Amino acid sequence: MIALDFPEINSILVWKDLFPSFNKIALIAVLAAVISITIFLLAVRQDHKEAPKGIRNFAEVIVEFIEDGVVMQTMGKEGLAWTPFLLTMFLFIYLCNVPGIIPFFQMPATARMAVPLFLALMVWVIYNVTGIKHQGVGGYLKSTLFPPGVPKALYILVTPIEFISAIIVRPFSLAVRLFANMMAGHILLVTFALLSEALFQAKDKILIPVGILPFFMLVFLTSFEVLVAFLQAYIFAMLTAVYIGGATHPEH
């Protein structure tokens, strides 16, 4: 039998500092910000009256995707002012997720709790402030804690549930969803990579061809991670839009 020693969790998640207080996670996050800024700065330099070409095409596709796929579906026309914010969130999260499958990076920046937690707290502050700005403090609390159309006696039950779900569970689930998805993908990739390596180097010669199986699984999971990286960024942007939309226009 082969015994597979899974490495310490810290050795696959904690990276050495490149220079003091700047490690690989920070490098990926900075690169994600720089790349997304560069794409749009290059795109905006082109003359907007001519037919778009090159990088501007690409930028317009992303903007249209956010407008049609996220904003129009959840907030409608009046939500279009939120496009830049949602676009920034989507692009940053996507570019933080994708290094999980890029060789030599091999680590999604969002698999460390700090990044998704900060993004979720930012969204939490923004939708609460938007709600208070649009409806006033009283109106916002009334529409979130006392949803209309509920029998009066049920408010004893409904109000605490609504409070917990709107104030505590929303940012928590937003952060944990992104974090756990990327972390799970990362650990799965590590597991299958280690398993195929251990089988390829097994002393028992008969085990070596068996190593092909986890290797195929590794290839399959890598392509699955391409999908997950996109889907998680999309869902994060979508839920942000839903929360902001819900705060600006309470359900009647």
| 237 is a site residue for another protein (CB under 8 A) | no
Q: Are 130 and 137 in contact (CB under 8 A)?
A: no
Q: Which residues of 22-36 are buried (b: 16+ CB within 10 A; e: fewer)?
A: ebbbbbbbeebeeeb
Selected from 33, 114, 141, 180, the binder of another protein by CB under 8 A is 180
| 107 is a site residue for another protein (CB under 8 A) | no
- Taking contact as CB under 8 A, which single stretch among the options 43-51, 208-216, 218-226, 228-236 is the one that binds another protein? 228-236
Looking at the Cβ atoms of 43 and 89, the one nearer to another protein is 89
Looking at the Cβ atoms of 40 and 82, the one nearer to another protein is 82
Name residue, tokens 């600006």.
248
Structure-token pair, residue 145: 């804690």
| 194 is a site residue for another protein (CB under 8 A) | no
Residues 64-83: x/- map of binding to another protein (CB under 8 A)?
Answer: -----x---xx---------
Selected from 123, 183, 195, 221, the binder of another protein by CB under 8 A is 183
Selected from 159, 202, 235, 250, the binder of another protein by CB under 8 A is 235
| 168 is a site residue for another protein (CB under 8 A) | no
| 173 is a site residue for another protein (CB under 8 A) | yes
Structure-token pair, residue 37: 């800024």
Looking at the Cβ atoms of 29 and 241, the one nearer to another protein is 241
Residues 1-40: x/- map of binding to another protein (CB under 8 A)?
Answer: --------x-------------------------------
- Taking contact as CB under 8 A, which single stretch among the options 17-25, 48-56, 155-163, 175-183 is the one that binds another protein? 175-183
Which residues make up the interface to another protein (CB under 8 A)? 9, 69, 73-74, 173, 176-177, 179-181, 183-184, 231, 234-235, 238-239, 242
